[in-house]
A and B are shown apart, each in its own frame.
Chain A
Amino acid sequence: MVAIASYPQTQLYPDIAKDIYLPFLAEIVEIRPMTALEKVFTIELPKGMSLGHRPGQFMEVSVFGVGEAPISISSSPSRSNGTFELCVRKVGDVTTALHSLKPGDKVGLRGPFGRGFPYENFRGKDLLFVPGGLGLAPLRSLINQVLDERAHYGRVIILYGARNPGELLFKEELKAWGERDDVELYVTVDRADETWTGNVGVVTTLFKYISIYPRNTVGITCGPPVMYRFVLMEFFAKGISEGNIYLSLERRMKCGVGKCGHCQINNVYACQSGPVFSYREIKGLEEAL
Chain B
Amino acid sequence: MSLAILSKPAFRDFVARLLADYRVAGPVAHNGSFIFDEIRDPSELHMDYPTTLLPPKKFLLPIREVLFRFKRQDGGVLQAPPETPPTVLLGVHTCDLHAIQLLDTVFSSGHYDIHYVNRRKKTLIVSIECLGPCDEHSFCKSMGTLTADEGYDLHLTDLGDQYAVDVGTQAGKELLEKYASAKPADKEDVQRLNAVISAKWPRFSYRLDFDVSELPSVLELGMKSPLWEELGQRCLACAACTNVCPTCFCFDVKDEVELNLVDGQRVRQWDSCQLDEFATVAGGHNFRASRALRQRHRFMRKGKYILDAHKHLGCVGCGRCARACIVDITPVGVFNELYRQQQAGS
Contacts and interface: CB of A to CB of B under 8 A. Distances in A.
Contact, chains A and B (beta carbon distance below 8 A):
yes
Given A20-B114, A21-B253, A259 B75 contact: no
Contacts of A262: 250, 252, 271, 278-279
A187 B210 CA distance: 58
B187 interface: no
Given A106-B75, A225-B285, A262-B250, A267 B255 contact: no
A260 B251 contact: yes
B86 to A, nearest CB: 21
Nearest to B278: A262
Contacts of B252: 254, 260, 262
B78 A22 contact: yes
Given A1-B308, A262-B278, A251 B287 contact: yes
Contact of A251 (B106, B251, B281): B281
A259 B67 contact: no
Interface in A233-289: 250-252, 254-255, 257-267, 272, 286-287
A18 interface: yes
Interface in B255-284: 255, 257, 261, 264, 266, 268, 271, 273, 278-283
B155 to A, nearest CB: 29
Contacts of B67: 21-22
A20 B113 contact: yes
B80 to A, nearest CB: 8
A62 to B, nearest CB: 7
Contacts of A62: 76, 266
B110 interface: yes
B76 A259 contact: no
Contact of B287 (A91, A107, A252): A252
Interface stretch (B27-35, B192-200, B297-305, B338-346): B297-305
B22 interface: no
Nearest to A18: B114
A103 B285 CA distance: 31
B264 to A, nearest CB: 5
- Most B CB within 10 A of own CB, among A19, A64, A263: A64
B111 A67 contact: no
Contacts of B300: 266-267
A19 B250 CA distance: 18
A74 interface: no
B75 A257 contact: no
Contacts of A48: none
Nearest to B288: A287
B293 interface: yes
A286 B280 CA distance: 17
A82 to B, nearest CB: 18
Q: What class of interface size applies to chain B in its complex with A?
A: 35 or more
A189 to B, nearest CB: 19
The main secondary structure of chain A at its interface with chain B is: loop
Interface string B142-157: 0000000000000000
Q: What class of interface size applies to chain A in its complex with B?
A: 35 or more
B83 to A, nearest CB: 13
Interface in A62-83: 62, 64-69
Contacts of A254: 252-253
A23 B309 CA distance: 27
B68 interface: yes
B251 A20 contact: no
A252 B281 contact: yes
B230 to A, nearest CB: 18
Given A20-B114, A64-B264, A251 B223 contact: no
A105 B107 CA distance: 34
A25 interface: yes
Nearest to A93: B282
Contacts of A21: 67-68, 113, 115, 253, 266, 268
Contact of A257 (B110, B250, B285): B110
B70 interface: yes
B282 A65 contact: no
B75 A25 contact: yes
Contact of B111 (A23, A107, A258, A286): A258
A8 interface: no
A214 interface: no
A92 interface: yes
B72 interface: yes
Given A19-B68, A259-B251, A260-B250, 13 more contacts: A21-B68, A21-B268, A22-B68, A22-B78, A25-B75, A62-B266, A65-B261, A106-B75, A224-B283, A254-B253, A257-B110, A259-B111, A262-B250
16 contacts: A18-B114, A19-B114, A21-B253, A27-B75, A64-B266, A69-B282, A91-B282, A105-B75, A254-B252, A254-B253, A260-B251, A260-B271, A261-B271, A264-B279, A267-B308, A272-B110
